[in-house]
Amino acid sequence: MYVLDANVFIGAYRGYYAFEVAPSFWNALVNLASNSKICSIDRIQHEIINPKDKDPDKLHEWTTDNFKDYFEGTDAVDVLENYALIQQWSFNNPQFTDAAKDEFARNADAWLIAYAKAKGYTLVTHEVYNPQMKKRILIPVVCENFGVNYVNTFEMLKNLQVQF
C-alpha cells in the first residue's frame, strides 16, 4: 500500500498530468484507491481542499468529487505515537534551523510519515533525499531515520504496473 503526499496531487495537477492532458492518470488514482493500493491522509486532504477557498481550483473539485473517501484518519494510537517520536526527533535535531522545525511542526509531513510508519506503507513524495539540508526537514530524510520506505510517483506507477 502507498500513501501519497500532497505534492503528488499538486505536481501532477500543475504539470505533467494536468486534467486536460492526462485524464487517465486521475482515473488510475481512483482505481488504485478503490482497490486499496493507494490512499492519503486527512492532513493532506486539508492541504488540497481548503473549505475557506471561495474559488476552488480543479484539483480541489476533483478531490472532493473523486478521492474524498480515500483520505485516512490520523487519530489512531499507533499514528499518534509515531508522530510524537518524529516531532521529538526533529525538535532535538541540531542540524535543522528553528524555522525548519516550526514549519515541520505545522505542516502535514510528520503526520504522513507517522501514518506510513504505523501502517507499514510506502510513502510517495516528490521530495528528494538531501541529508545536508538545514532550512527544511525533508520527508526522505525523516523516512531514512525512521525506516519508512518512500518512492516518487513514477516509481509507484511502475511498481503497480499502471499503464496509460
Strand partners, 124: 4, 151
Q: Residue 98 burial (CB < 10 Å; 0-12/13-18/19+)? A: exposed
Q: Residue 58 burial (CB < 10 Å; 0-12/13-18/19+)? A: exposed
Give the total residue count for the chain.
Answer: 164
The grid coordinates of residue 88 equal 521529538
The model's pTM is: 0.94
DSSP, residue by residue, 99-152: HHHHHHHHSSHHHHHHHHHHHTPEEE-S----TT--SS--HHHHHHHHT--EE-
Specify the 3-state DSSP secondary structure of 11.
helix
**Cell 538531501, residue?**
130
pLDDT of residue 49: 83
* Residue ranges covered by each domain of the chain: 2-72+152-159, 77-120+127-147
Q: Compute the 3-state secondary structure of the chain and give helix, strand, coil in percent, each to the nearest 5.
A: 55, 10, 35
Taking only the tens of pLDDT, the chain with its 164 residues reads 999 999 999 999 999 899 999 999 999 999 999 999 999 999 999 999 876 667 788 999 999 999 999 999 999 999 999 999 999 999 999 999 999 999 999 999 999 999 999 999 999 999 999 989 999 999 999 999 999 999 999 999 999 999 98
